[in-house]
Amino acid sequence: MPIAAERPARESAGPKLPSPVMTAPVPVIAIDGLTKSYGKVRALDGVSLSLEPGRFTALLGPNGAGKSTLFQILTGLFVADSGSVRVLGADLAADPTAALARLGIVFQQPSLDLDLTVEQNLAYHAGLHGIGGRRRRDAIEEALALFGQSETRRQRVRTLSGGNRRKIEMARALMSAPALLLLDEPTQGLDPASRRDLVLHVSRLVRERDLGVLWATHIVSEVEAADRVVVLHRGRVIEDGAPADVVARSGASTLEGAFLALTQGRAA
């Protein structure tokens, strides 16, 4: 499942040639000025965000910050009131099929069929993505191997632990070779060891496969090793940077402290 990432042209070290046109890398996702209200509640208030391939970005926000609303728009379930989303250049509103084809999604609510086996769940998903025959078997095998779940293949999902069910959902999301994996509070209900295990698995995929990841959570400890932290609060991006920079700018000594200062110490 190679993930094609577009990289900037590198400058030649040789003699000066007519200068090539330097193009910026195409972001895996470019979100521009998204707004969304539910009646009088403004859930998103002008969110702009651009993500690169091969980076683990944490979307940190307290309850009600707008994380799920953002994910629902990014995955085409809700339509924004205004603003735009482009996935590898494909506009979500104008060409949803092309845009959504490059996204892998794990929703907050578990979505596996508990009475089917792991393999049956993945085969169904493969069918939805037009992956059939020999390719389907290979895709299932590869996806399960990525998360160390090959042995669970013939088990009913109901018999798996919560942590392993989450891994199957992530494996399923990767079957269509997305450029960006969207994870909405993926560790909900998991114990600390399972949470850590899941983070380690995803971090490895980011490095090894040049996968972009947007991991939404309010649990600061699980994203301390992220490449980038974006803090969403009351529907706005209020901080964005490497974890160490976010901490330094806040004046706190930990990311948790920075998050609390930003979201609790902030005037209404």
Residues that bind ligand ATP (CB under 6 A): 38, 41, 43, 61, 63-69, 218
Nearer Cβ to ligand ATP (61/212): 61
Nearer Cβ to ligand ATP (43/146): 43
Nearer Cβ to ligand ATP (57/68): 68
Q: Of 104, 117, 214, which Cα lies nearest the Cα of 170?
A: 104
Nearer Cβ to ligand ATP (196/236): 236
Q: 117 is written with which tokens?
A: 């086996």
Q: Please state the closest distance from residue 251 (CB atom) to ligand ATP, in A.
A: 25
Q: Please state the closest distance from residue 65 (CB atom) to ligand ATP, in A.
A: 4
Nearer Cβ to ligand ATP (199/231): 231
**CA dist., res. 251 & res. 90, Å (int):** 39
Q: Please state the closest distance from residue 44 (CB atom) to ligand ATP, in A.
A: 8
Q: Please state the closest distance from residue 68 (CB atom) to ligand ATP, in A.
A: 3
Q: Please state the closest distance from residue 92 (CB atom) to ligand ATP, in A.
A: 18
